[in-house]
Amino acid sequence: MSLSSSPFNVFASYTPKPKTFLKDSKLLSRSHQPNSFPLQTQKPSTNLTLTRPKLKPISSLETSEINTSSSPTFRNKPANEINILVVGSTGYIGRFVVKELVSRGFNVIAVAREKSGVRGKNNKEETLKQLKGANVCFSDVTDITSLQESLQNLNLSIDVVVSCLASRNGGIKDSWKIDYEATKNSLVAGQNFGAKHFVLLSAICVQKPLLEFQRAKLKFEAELMNQKDSTFTYSIVRPTAFFKSLGGQVEIVKEGKPYVMFGDGKLCACKPISEEDLASFIADCVLEEDKMNQVLPIGGPGKALTPLEQGEILFRVLGREPKFLKVPFEVMDFVIGVLDGVAKVVPGVKEAAEFGKIGRYYAAESMLILDPETGEYSEEMTPSYGKDTLEDFFEKVVREGMAGQELGEQFF
């Protein structure tokens, strides 16, 4: 699911706060060299950090003590001997995670549907092209039996599972089916084939769960954290907003229309993170012991940005005077109230009412760490990682359009 920056998507905004370690351009240079070796013949990896240096987040939420003495043996193997199963490999983040893991020399088994992408627009050939360097396993993550049969056919053991699965529409049923059940299938299947570590792409907003997809994610997170096998580890990555969720107004504003926001545009903030930066952070979670058994909220570089500040950045990039349309929250609340009321008597409207609530949530809630002491969102507590800024992203979209930044199937 995505956070759109359409008028009905108020996803976040933030103000960049540069961290000194992010400024060294050499340190931050990035090159993705897909490794297309087949699984059985991969060459030993030289250095996992060659293609993209590891950037340390400023902080993390520690959930338990790390017992390095019980580190699973896969951590001692060279990258080319580590088999990583990636589910959700064809998503906005999943594609970049596959690319990053491949570039670091791991053996990547990417699970995909035969028709993948938004509304199944990619056929098998397109999917294979997209997941170059990985061993693509066409299967069904929603069906544990078929998933396990597919893995059986590969005749391989699995060391690590990385899940970038997510409901493509964020609806109630689909969220439980994908964010909980299918993700759990990948855990169970992975473990049955030897996996000792699970990296989960979750979302920072689960810290304040008011929506069904957040509850589905939290249920899985809780089960992941409570595995009986003490040698099994996890990393739960909870990012703030993605760039795609904030780019929805670029084309409209470019045409001369105003930038739309709710309220005064200062209510919610986030530290947007690019696909590549997040993929790199997720790849770090495969081997780095300080990320074992951790819940890891993560944002991009710079300070938190409100919608107002995001709009100002966009107008600056376009070289235009800012022009805003501020929509009162009451308008959205009225629509949601009507949908909620109708949903009580017409069950078919329940999903639409949920989409309205999702829009409302992101119009008001920041994608930053919620300080348990103050109950306020805290920019300072939210770690930063990577180098790509929203301004760079806006410049790219103004130049090249939104290709590759397509939102999911939700209509908010």
Ligand X SMILES: NC(=O)c1ccc[n+]([C@@H]2O[C@H](COP(=O)([O-])OP(=O)(O)OC[C@H]3O[C@@H](n4cnc5c(N)ncnc54)[C@H](OP(=O)(O)O)[C@@H]3O)[C@@H](O)[C@H]2O)c1
Residue ranges binding ligand X (CB under 6 A):
1-3, 88-94, 113, 116-117, 141-142, 164-168, 178, 201, 203, 239, 241-242, 245, 408
* Nearest distance, CB of residue 7 and ligand X, angstroms: 17
CB of 221 to ligand X, least distance (A): 11
- Please identify, using beta-carbon distances, which residue of 80 and 280 lies nearer to ligand X: 280
Cβ at position 39, least distance to ligand X in Å: 21
List Cα–Cα distances, 279 to 162, 200, 283, 284, 375, in angstroms. 11, 12, 6, 9, 30
DSSP class of residue 379 equals T
Task: Give min distance, CB of 9 to ligand X, in A.
Answer: 9
Our CB check for ligand X shows the closer of 159 and 365 to be: 365
d(CA 208, CA 212): 12
Q: How many alpha carbons lie under 13 Å from residue 328 in its C-beta half-sphere? A: 3
- For 174-229, what is the HEC assignment? HHHHHHHHHHHHHHHHHHHCCCCEEEEECCHHHHCCCCHHHHHHHHHHHHHHCCCC
Instruction: Give the residue nearest to ligand X (CB).
Output: 91
User: Closest distance between ligand X and the C-beta of residue 307, in Å?
Assistant: 14
User: From the CB of 15, what's the least distance to ligand X, in Å?
Assistant: 17
Taking the complex as a whole, how short is the minimal distance between the CB of residue 342 and ligand X, in angstroms?
26
Query: What is the C-alpha to C-alpha distance for residues 214 and 238, in angstroms, rounded to an integer?
Result: 11
Nearest C-alpha neighbor of 139 from the set 193, 82, 186 = 186
Residues contacting 342, CB < 8 A, separation 6+: 349, 353
Residue 302 or 408 having the CB closest to ligand X:
408
Which one, 48 or 367, has the nearer CB to ligand X?
Answer: 367
Q: Which is nearer to ligand X, 72 or 170 (CB)?
A: 170
Q: How far is the CB of 116 from ligand X (least distance, A)?
A: 4
Residue 344 buriedness (CB in 10 A; 0-12 / 13-18 / 19+)? exposed
Specify the residue, 103 or 167, whose C-beta has the smaller distance to ligand X: 167
| Angle ∠(410,308,368) on CA atoms, nearest 5 | 65
Judged by beta carbon, residue 82 or residue 86, the one nearer ligand X is 86
Q: How far is CA 115 from the centre of its chain?
A: 21
Q: For residue 277, is it left (φ>0), alpha (ψ between -120 and 50) or beta? A: alpha
* Nearer of residues 167 and 306 to ligand X, judged by Cβ: 167
Chain length of the chain: 412
In angstroms, the CA 229 to CA 8 distance is 44
Return d(Cα 345, Cα 396) in angstroms, integer: 46
Q: Give the CA distances from residue 200 to residues 165, 286, 346, 393, in Å, rounded to whole numbers and listed in that order.
A: 9, 11, 35, 25
Element (H, E) at 153: helix 144-154
We find the least distance from the C-beta atom of residue 178 to ligand X, in angstroms, to be 5
> Quick one: 201 or 370, whose CB is closer to ligand X?
201
Amino acid, single-letter form, for residue 250: V
